[in-house]
Amino acid sequence: EPEVTQTPSHQVTQMGQEVILRCVPISNHLYFYWYRQILGQKVEFLVSFYNNEISEKSEIFDDQFSVERPDGSNFTLKIRSTKLEDSAMYFCASSPLGGAAYNEQFFGPGTRLTVL
Amino acid sequence: GENVEQHPSTLSVQEGDSAVIKCTYSDSASNYFPWYKQELGKRPQLIIDIRSNVGEKKDQRIAVTLNKTAKHFSLHITETQPEDSAVYFCAASIMLSTNAGKSTFGDGTTLTVKP
């Protein structure tokens, strides 16, 4: 069964550094999402993406964050200048349908980001 | 923005008993309500979902009810088993016809099923 994949599984970085988290959504999916989950807390929506543009974003998704679908298969989340509070598990998700025909979002295994 | 409240935060039941988790939401535009199960260190996995034009949905031991007027929805697990032990999250989503939508999650309920 096809799955969403994410790399790396764990990323350690120094405060102020840029990080890029990578996701490969399921191949025929059209809608893409990033979420984060601080250890022991709830899942928080960051951004959704469709048709090569951002659909929705949360208050967390400020100017330090950006997303891109550079080559038709990868979906990336970039954090320009990481802060300590960016340490979290970042989940990518994709969905085959959206809008009025909304359907299940399939989550990737996550990337654990640790900012020192 | 949307606010989702989930109760209880922890729930302990005996194997074979039922478990009920409740969520309320604030934005009447929310039209899709998934429930996720998350085991320790794993990704959230959808266990059941309901759309705003449906009042109840059942899948074997799991059922979800939605009251749009009161803006609340509930997860019911019957005949619980130890492998049901996990954190359960509800979510309220606004899905529009022209974009990928947005989801707000509840704080989660840690369910423990004692053998």
The model's pLDDT over A13-47, given as tens digits with 9 standing for 90+, comes to: 999 999 999 999 999 898 999 999 999 999 999 99
Tell me which chain A residue has its CA closest to the CA of residue B98: A99
Q: Is the pLDDT of residue B103 over 80?
A: yes
Q: Are the CB atoms for A4 and A107 separated by under 8 Å?
A: yes
A96 vs B: CB within 8 A: no
Mean pLDDT of A77-83: 97
pLDDT at site A101: 65
A32 vs B: CB within 8 A: yes
Q: Give me the phi and psi of B8, to 5 degrees please.
A: -80, 175
Q: Is A98 within 8 Å of B99 when comparing Cβ atoms?
A: yes
pLDDT at site B94: 86
- b/e code B19-50 from CB counts within 10 Å (16+ = b): bbbbbbbeeeebbbbbbbbbeeeebbebbbbb
Q: Is A58 within 8 Å of B49 when comparing Cβ atoms?
A: no
pLDDT tens for each residue of B69-88: 999 999 999 999 999 999 99
A25 vs B: CB within 8 A: no
pLDDT at site A28: 86
pLDDT at site B1: 83
pLDDT at site B39: 95
Residues in A touching B95 (Cβ below 8 Å) = 98-100, 102
Mean pLDDT of A71-93: 95
Tell me which chain A residue has its CA closest to the CA of residue B2: A58
pLDDT tens for each residue of B35-61: 999 999 899 999 999 998 889 999 999
Q: Which of B45, B101, B108 sits opposite A56 (nearest CB)?
A: B101
pLDDT tens for each residue of A86-107: 999 999 999 887 666 667 899 9
End-to-end CA distance of chain B: 41
A39 vs B: CB within 8 A: no
